[in-house]
Amino acid sequence: MISRTAIYVLWLREMKRFLRAKSRIFGTVAMPLFFLAFLGMGFRKIAVPGMTEEVDSFLFLVPGILGMNLLFSSTFGGLSVLWDREFGFLKEIMVAPVSRISIVMGRIAGGVTTALIQGLFILGISTLLGFRIKSFLSLGMAIVFMILISVAFLGLGLIFASKMKDMQGFSMVMNFVIFPLFFLSGAIFPVENFPSWLRYIAHLDPLTYGVDGLRGVLAGISSYSILFNFVMMVGLAMVMIFLGAYFFEKSESV
Amino acid sequence: MKAIQVKNLTKNFNGIVAVDNITFDVDTGELFGLLGPNGAGKTTTINMLSTLLKKTSGSGTVAGFDISKNKDDVRRSIGVVFQEPALDTKLTGRENLEFHSMMYGIGKEDRKARIRDVLNLVDLAEKERVLVEKYSGGMKRRLEIARGLIHRPKVLFLDEPTLGLDAQTRRHIWDYIKRLNRETDVTIILTTHYMEEADFLCSRIAIMDQGKFVALGSPSMLKDILGGDVVTLEFEGRADELINLMESLEWIKTLTQYNGHLTLTLEKGERRIPELINLANKNDVKVTCVQLRKPSLEDVFLHYTGRTIRQEEASQTERNKSMMRSRMGRRR
């Protein structure tokens, strides 16, 4: 049922495309760096509810920007099905005798890897700029959260890609889904600062738990326990990927 | 065994019938053509047979497998060359072929040999390490045909294989297709709106119009339906009396008149020409030019639909244009 070769070759294709698209690598890494640089300089200190002292904004921002990058690159990764449809390659994939679930898994493998590469790159640069990762354990846990965030939003991208016929709806998704998810997640300001009604909405945003988890393991600041964030992320990632795979299976490729 | 069996196959897109209750069989090793204007339902038929689209009703088998129940078996048995290019342009030619071979579960050693074989077949061995985005239209087409063959399909679908290619490349691809069909026993189904392509390549043709089959048979059989030859007379003067007279003659099968031309179909055209000119002279019509030809598939299409494929194409573009206009109007 699940073809490992198919998953591997879909992953390999994604890697080759990623490494050949220099501008894409630059673009996806440059934006978070601008955010880090300007927001980091602009805020300096940030008051986090529950913490007695103000914390260095850089410490607060790095996990948030990391989450942002994972959100964007993974959702686009899911939406890349639309590019394949536009350029016809989706038909080549869909007419092949491999189970649809293998195709979804191949795409996820590729999407997670590219998102992870970008994420680690941002972490690396942040370290150079003075961000201290506590231990290898916290780096390992951060990677787990990064994978979970990536899987969840690849699923989201797949859902949209399956429901849209062409690139027309792309900016809609961008403006009305990705940006709200980003701002609601607490990536650049604490969710606790929101008015209470907005806080409820923020709690429906998978990225909230992802960013909080990353902040917990990387910076030691979090609203919820790391375990709670982890459980929420596992659940949400599973739901999203299941829905993504379901809609992808249902959609017609021509 | 039949390579393809289709019974009452129908596809409905939100109330618009794209394929309307078609039934046909294709024998193993046959080169079968679907001929018709754009929008006739050819591609939709191919998409249903290759499991990319769900049928609305009816049934179909490809290589003995049901197209809706045994999708994976169907997929394993077919190769498809789509109308629009379906290559990853950011990969090289070879990488596209490797991707395909791996998706079809071909092992490493086999893969190497087969990729070399198909690249040689389509003369692309020298360009294998070039990114596909640098390929010309003809090269892309050839690469796609090569790709469709790697996994040795029992049935190969070619959807408008020479669309948008120059005459020379088209000729090359025709030769490939013929040779392929002759040398391997792959069954080939191709769609086209070029009459001469269907005529040259196919052993049997189904003429399709507005989702339906209007005729099915070998090219020569289809042309024989018209009964003999097509004679066109160019004339000066009024021909009303002559036309009346000709219409009463039994050996003239069909007659159409348009600005100074008379097109007739009749048997043994070359023997009838003197007689026709005599008739014209007697009725004070001066014949200035005579043309005799064997009927083409275009004439067959005209016979069955009352339109030529070219007219159909023209009206199609006209429709598209007016649709664009109305859309743009709304936006404003």
Domain that holds residue A190: 4-250
The Cα-based distances of A227 to A71, A145, A204, A231, A234 in angstroms read 21, 11, 18, 6, 10
B21-75 pLDDT, tens digit per residue, is 999 999 999 999 999 988 899 999 999 999 999 999 999 999 999 999 999 999 9
Q: Which residues of B touch A (CB under 8 A)?
A: 47, 50-54, 72-73, 75-76, 78, 80, 82, 84-91, 95, 98-100, 102-105, 147
The answer to whether B52 contacts A254, with C-beta atoms less than 8 Å apart, is yes
The answer to whether A95 contacts B52, with C-beta atoms less than 8 Å apart, is yes
B194-250 pLDDT, tens digit per residue, is 988 999 999 999 999 999 999 999 998 888 877 788 888 888 888 888 888 888 888
Could you tell me the domains of chain B?
Answer: 2-223 (3.40.50.300), 227-294 (3.30.70.920)
Write down the pLDDT at residue A234: 96
Write down the pLDDT at residue B120: 87
The three-class DSSP label of residue A46 is strand
Nearest to A89 among B47, B73, B87 (CB): B87
The answer to whether B86 contacts A96, with C-beta atoms less than 8 Å apart, is no
Q: Is the pLDDT of residue B323 over 70?
A: no
The answer to whether B102 contacts A254, with C-beta atoms less than 8 Å apart, is no
Task: Specify the number of domains making up chain A.
Answer: 1
Q: Which residue has the higher pLDDT, B5 or B285?
A: B5
Question: A110 vs chain B: nearest CA distance in angstroms?
Answer: 14
Q: Which of A1, A81, A91 to mutate to test the interface with B (most CBs of B within 10 A)?
A: A91
Q: Which residues of A touch B (CB under 8 A)?
A: 3, 5-6, 8-9, 12-13, 16-17, 20-21, 87-99, 252-254
What is the SS3 assignment for chain B?
CEEEEEEEEEEEECCEEEEEEEEEEEECCCEEEEECCCCCCHHHHHHHHCCCCCCCEEEEEECCEECCCCHHHHHHHEEEECCCCCCCCCCEHHHHHHHHHHHCCCCHHHHHHHHHHHHHHCCCHHHCCCEHHHCCHHHHHHHHHHHHHHCCCCEEEEECCCCCCCHHHHHHHHHHHHHHHHHCCCEEEEEECCHHHHHHHCCEEEEEECCEEEEEECHHHHHHHCCCEEEEEEEECCCHHHHHHHHHCCCEEEEEEECCEEEEEECCHHHHHHHHHHHHHHCCCEEEEEEEECCCHHHHHHHHHCCCHHHHHHHHHHHHHHHHHHHHHHHC
Question: B147 vs chain A: nearest CA distance in angstroms?
Answer: 10
Closest CA in chain A for residue B47: A254
The answer to whether B87 contacts A8, with C-beta atoms less than 8 Å apart, is no
What spatial distance separates the first Cα and last Cα of chain A, rounded to whole Å? 24
The answer to whether A254 contacts B89, with C-beta atoms less than 8 Å apart, is no
Write down the pLDDT at residue B80: 94
Q: Which stretches of chain A drop beneath a pLDDT of 70? A: 43-54, 253-254
B135-146 pLDDT, tens digit per residue, is 998 899 889 988
The answer to whether B100 contacts A92, with C-beta atoms less than 8 Å apart, is yes
Write down the pLDDT at residue B328: 45
Residues from chain A that touch B50, judged by Cβ atoms under 8 A, are 95
Whole-angstrom Cα distance, residue B182 to residue B266? 35
Residues from chain B that touch A3, judged by Cβ atoms under 8 A, are 105
Write down the pLDDT at residue A182: 92
Nearest to A95 among B50, B88, B102 (CB): B50
Q: Is the pLDDT of residue B128 over 90?
A: yes
The answer to whether B99 contacts A3, with C-beta atoms less than 8 Å apart, is no
The Cα-based distances of B58 to B21, B49, B66, B78, B209 in angstroms read 7, 12, 11, 20, 19
Q: What is the ipTM of this complex?
A: 0.88
Whole-angstrom Cα distance, residue B129 to residue B137? 17
Reported as half-sphere exposure (CB side, CA atoms, 13 A), residue B75 has a value of 22
Reported as half-sphere exposure (CB side, CA atoms, 13 A), residue B143 has a value of 33
Whole-angstrom Cα distance, residue B38 to residue B35? 10
Question: B187 vs chain A: nearest CA distance in angstroms?
Answer: 18
**φ, ψ dihedrals at B66, nearest 5°:** -70, 135
The answer to whether A91 contacts B80, with C-beta atoms less than 8 Å apart, is yes
Closest CA in chain A for residue B71: A97
Write down the pLDDT at residue B75: 94
The answer to whether A20 contacts B90, with C-beta atoms less than 8 Å apart, is yes
Nearest to A96 among B54, B85, B103 (CB): B103
The answer to whether B102 contacts A91, with C-beta atoms less than 8 Å apart, is no
CA geometry: angle A243, A246, A248, nearest 5 deg: 105
**Which long-range contacts link B311-316 to residues 24+ away (Cβ below 8 Å)?**
B312/B37, B312/B38, B312/B209, B313/B37, B313/B38, B313/B193, B316/B37, B316/B38, B316/B39
Q: Is the pLDDT of residue B152 over 80?
A: yes
The three-class DSSP label of residue A93 is helix
The answer to whether B87 contacts A21, with C-beta atoms less than 8 Å apart, is no
Q: Is the pLDDT of residue B284 over 50?
A: yes
Q: Which of A8, A15, A95 to mutate to test the interface with B (most CBs of B within 10 A)?
A: A95
Q: Which of B67, B103, B144 to mutate to test the interface with A (most CBs of A within 10 A)?
A: B103
Say how many CB pairs under 8 Å bridge A and B. Answer: 75
Alpha carbon A44 to its chain's center: 26
